[in-house]
């Protein structure tokens, strides 16, 4: 018979030599797991000796406990009568009671209003994780502001009654040229999490790119998918390759729904996200601590790195900073035959290099990780124009998608006019989820689709294929585009020598 433990006894085990936590009314000894936790031992020790369910549940997919701990680590049930009464939540971490009730979603007319409602409903920690970006948030702001500088060129005397927003991603038909970018920990916004986003995408025929750090398992997310609904899977190349390889085995089995693997490359090291850091780095507790910072990102040396899993064992199992063209792509080919998309392209040189690796590489995503990595990195539109200037042949070799800063359907159309095949939204889907659950994500997609259709009609475009550079004026931002040497001939020779 399993033993029942007293909360006072559990509370004694709150140090590295003996660390117990309460999860789902059960007591676990996680002492031996401390050095191997992806977010480092510090985050667990903060919760040692007490009930950690509230902190743990929204950001860990079901089954994580069973995968991470041996059966003997489960010590028994907690005696509920011995648990202390929960503290009143702090004002800072609790949504304002005056704004708990959501206004009718139909009354929210744009993505800014949806974000405003979500901000009032989310906890301070959840808001800070979603909102945060690198350093001074310059790239995050520019991601959106750059679209304001692109002007439309509306046409007249064109029958615009019919408007078709459908397109294809890697040969798969979608009803809207918008996809949901991989965004972690959706259950911080709503219990439905990534499954709720999938439900909304299914209704609007949109692609969902599932985060490697999703708060639900990929099997749970794609369950009940609509007929013909498609997904992609985001992969972070981890220091412990076996973890990535094991996940690819699971993803390969879901090929009826998941059609490609998206290797994220724009965050080989953590960005400095001060909003998140001030809110105790909720992101550092991700299952794969990629691009997340635990401890202070304003420190250097061993002290700053120690919480990431320990210096001696180098047991931080987040993103590997050693990924290369030469080694990573062949390794990936051994473990999946799915098409590969590279996410995080920020220069024309890397776009050109990616185009040399067809047919394995089918597409690229121009992205600066939502401004969450290197601040002052270029917005996707800059990189898109750079490719058009220096190596336009890339457009005929691989698909080019973009993400970052999308607030309006006109933003989507402008990117499509410059050659983007698809346009991603990340935070917008999370704000929708926070504002109204799956219905909030539906409303987000509904607004974007309606705005895209309106913009296309003004431009005289019946289909997405009718859009092109002739529909917009980009002169205001051309002076901001990189104007150095192309360097592609030498780059090609260099690649050949390395491969």
Residues annotated as catalytic are 236, 266, 369
Q: Are 184 and 214 in contact (CB under 8 A)?
A: yes
Give helix 427-459 / helix 193-204 axis angle, nearest 10°.
Answer: 10
Distance CA 325, CA 399 (A): 19
Collapsed DSSP state (helix, strand, coil) of residue 119: helix
Distance CA 122, CA 125 (A): 8
Q: Which two tokens stand for residue 142?
A: 């520019």
Measured CA distances, 134 to 52, 282, 360, 429 (Å):
29, 15, 32, 20
Distance CA 445, CA 181 (A): 13
Q: Which two tokens stand for residue 440?
A: 């909030």
Distance CA 445, CA 435 (A): 13
Q: Which two tokens stand for residue 129?
A: 């994780």
Collapsed DSSP state (helix, strand, coil) of residue 367: coil
Q: Are 209 and 232 in contact (CB under 8 A)?
A: yes
Determine the length of the chain: 499
Distance CA 196, CA 438 (A): 5
All residues at 6 or more sequence positions from 3 whose CB lies less than 8 Å from its CB, including other chains:
75, 76, 77
- The Cα diameter of the chain in Å comes to 81
Q: Are 206 and 178 in contact (CB under 8 A)?
A: yes
DSSP string covering 142-158: HHHHHHHTPEE----S-
């Amino acid at each position: 018979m399993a033993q029942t433990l007293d909360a006072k006894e559990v509370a004694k085990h709150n140090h590295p030599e003996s660390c117990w936590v309460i999860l789902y009314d059960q007591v676990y000894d996680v002492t031996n797991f401390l050095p191997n936790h992806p977010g480092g031992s510090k985050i667990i020790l903060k919760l040692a000796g007490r009930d950690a369910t509230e902190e743990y549940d929204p950001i860990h997919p079901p089954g994580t406990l069973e995968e991470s701990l041996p059966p003997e680590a489960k010590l028994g049930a907690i005696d509920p009568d011995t648990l202390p009464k929960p503290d009143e939540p702090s004002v800072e971490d609790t949504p304002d009671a005056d704004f708990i009730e959501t206004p009718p979603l139909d009354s929210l007319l744009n993505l800014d209003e949806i974000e405003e409602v979500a901000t009032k409903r989310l906890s301070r920690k959840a808001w800070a994780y979603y909102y945060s970006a690198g350093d001074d948030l310059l790239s995050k702001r520019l991601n959106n502001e750059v679209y304001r500088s692109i002007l439309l060129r509306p046409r007249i005397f064109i029958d615009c009654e019919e408007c078709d927003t459908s397109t294809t991603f890697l040969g798969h038909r979608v009803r809207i040229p918008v996809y949901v970018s991989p965004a972690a920990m959706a259950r911080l916004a709503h219990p439905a999490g990534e499954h709720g986003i999938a439900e909304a995408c299914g209704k609007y025929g949109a692609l969902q790119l599932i985060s490697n750090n999703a708060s639900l398992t990929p099997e749970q997310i794609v369950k009940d998918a609509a007929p013909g609904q498609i997904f992609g899977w985001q992969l972070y190349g981890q220091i412990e390759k076996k973890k990535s390889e094991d996940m690819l085995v699971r993803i390969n089995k879901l090929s009826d729904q998941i059609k490609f693997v998206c290797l994220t490359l724009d965050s080989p090291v953590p960005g400095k996200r001060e909003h998140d850091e001030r809110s105790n780095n909720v992101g550092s507790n991700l299952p794969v601590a990629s691009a997340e910072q635990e401890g202070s990102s304003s420190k250097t040396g061993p002290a700053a790195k120690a919480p990431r899993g320990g210096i001696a064992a180098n047991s931080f199992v987040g993103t590997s900073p050693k990924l290369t063209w030469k080694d990573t792509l062949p390794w990936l080919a051994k473990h999946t035959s799915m098409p590969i998309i590279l996410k995080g392209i920020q220069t024309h040189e890397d776009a050109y290099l990616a185009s040399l690796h067809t047919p394995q590489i089918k597409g690229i995503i121009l992205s600066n990780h939502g401004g969450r990595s290197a601040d002052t990195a270029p917005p996707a539109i800059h990189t898109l124009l750079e490719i058009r200037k220096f190596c336009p042949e890339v457009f005929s070799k691989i698909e080019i998608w973009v993400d970052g800063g999308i607030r309006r359907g006109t933003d989507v159309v402008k990117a499509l006019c410059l050659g983007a095949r698809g346009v991603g939204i990340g935070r917008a889907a999370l704000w929708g989820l926070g504002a109204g659950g799956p219905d909030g994500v539906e409303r987000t997609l509904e607004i974007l689709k309606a705005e895209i259709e309106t913009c296309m009609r003004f431009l005289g475009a019946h289909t997405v294929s009718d859009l092109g550079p002739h529909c917009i004026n980009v002169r205001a931002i051309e002076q901001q585009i990189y104007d150095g040497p192309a360097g592609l001939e030498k780059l090609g020779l260099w690649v050949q020598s390395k491969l």
